Each structure stands twice: as structure tokens, then as C-alpha cells.
Amino acid sequence: MLPTQFDSATVMTKANVYFDGNVVSHSLVLPGAVKKTLGLIRPGSYHFKTAAAELMEIVGGACRVAVDGEKTARDYGAGARFEVPANSGFTISVAAGLCEYICTFL
């Protein structure tokens, strides 16, 4: 079950804008220094590099993800989740509509 809200969060008002505005997120910090971003991805294909390991949870829409080093891409819809190792990367593709996500830095 994906969260619908985060209580006691510190939210950064400056957006994280990538790929000419096609991927936009806002950062938040929860108690215990838990760092997350909440974002939207427009149709297209985008590659991200990771420093920390990440847990990506799809809140709405759908995407196809190829994690660096894995042989096959996988499809994810609302309610699905996937992990990306530290010092790696992934390509996320959205065919239509918006993909909404929560990213937790592990």
C-alpha cells in the first residue's frame, strides 16, 4: 500500500527539474533524516545515474524501466515498486500520460 501523505515532512520549495522540464520532483525530509522525492515524468525516455540506492514506487500512470546491468526492461504500473543499486543507473520510459512516483533514498 503506497502512502497518500507524509506527516511531519520538511518540503523543499525549489523543484528538481530534469530533461527540459519533462521530469520534475520536489524533495522532502522525514523524521530520522529519511530523504524522498515526489515527482512526475512526462512521456519520453530518460536515464538517471544513482549515487545512493533508491526505492522507486509508482503512484500513478505506467513506465518501463531498464536498470543498468540488467538484461531486460520491466513494466511498472500504479502500486508497483523497484529498486536501483547505489552507483548505478536506470532508464525510465513513459509511453503516454504522466507517471507519478515516490523515490526513497536508501
Q: Do residues 92 and 99 lie in contact, with contact meaning Cβ atoms separated by under 8 Å?
A: yes
Residue 6 lies in a domain: no
Q: Is 76 helix (H, G, I), strand (E, B) or coil?
A: strand
Task: Evaluate whether residue 49 is within a structural domain.
Answer: yes
Confidence band, pLDDT 50/70/90 cuts, at residue 1: confident
What does the pLDDT look like over 77-99, one tens digit per residue?
999 999 999 999 999 999 999 99
Read off the pLDDT of each residue in 6-23 and give the average, rounded to a whole number. Answer: 96
Residue 99 lies in a domain: yes
How many domains does the chain divide into?
1
Mean pLDDT over the full length of the chain: 97
Domain-embedded: residue 54: yes
Half-sphere exposure for 82 (CA within 13 Å, toward CB): 21
Contact at 8 Å (CB) between 64 and 74? yes
Domain membership of residue 31 as a residue range:
11-105
Strand partners for 48: 90
> What average pLDDT does this structure show over 27-47?
97
| Strand 34-41 versus strand 99-105 pairing type | antiparallel
Q: Does 28 map to a domain?
A: yes
CATH number at 54 reads 2.60.120.10
Q: Indicate whether 20 belongs to any domain.
A: yes
pLDDT (mean) for 65-88: 97
**47 occurs within a structural domain:** yes
| Entry pTM | 0.94
The stretch 39-59 carries a mean pLDDT of: 97
